[in-house]
Amino acid sequence: MKSNDELNAFIQELTQILNERYEKSYCKGYDDVTTIFNKGCSFAYYDVLDIIKQQLIVIGNDSNDFGSTVPTLKPGIYTYTEFVNDLGMGREIEFLYKNSKYSITNTPNGHVFSEYNSNFNTYQTIEELIKRTRIDNKNLKELWEEITIDCIF
């Protein structure tokens, strides 16, 4: 059985390698097909790193002890249209805006928009959530360039 130090070193190295591959995969290809392929690779690396982060949390580790486990989705790799489509497919998304964390989740009562440890609003449809949600008196589309996606479930 490997020691905790060896396991920790393995996880740190694995996440570093995956982050490097994520960075390399994020580039525009020489044609549309290659660009789409690279974008798919970026999402795959992102998803694997997110799984590692979630499993570290489940077993009681602070994922920050292992370096940057989950990269930030780069501007341009995840569009506002994809964001809306993902919400429509039932995905849940956490994001950062001006040092505050927000989430959009699904519940039996509807779709919930909330600021962490603060107020929340529930909407019957994603369309209603998108239309009515405001931060700093702006809708999500107006804020899109200032939003950093933290997690996609």
Domain ranges of the chain: 4-66, 80-152
**3 state DSSP class of 115:** strand
**Residue 72, pLDDT score:** 60
d(CA 149, CA 94): 6
**Residue 129, pLDDT score:** 96
Q: Dig out the tokens for 88 from the structure.
A: 């429509």
**Residue 133, pLDDT score:** 96
Q: With contact defined as beta carbons under 8 Å apart, do 123 and 132 qualify? A: yes
Select from 69, 42, 44 the least CA-distant residue to 56. Answer: 69
**3 state DSSP class of 149:** strand
Angle at the Cα of 144 (from 68 to 34), degrees rounded to 5?
A: 65
List of the chain residues with pLDDT < 70: 1-3, 26-31, 62-77
**Residue 64, pLDDT score:** 64
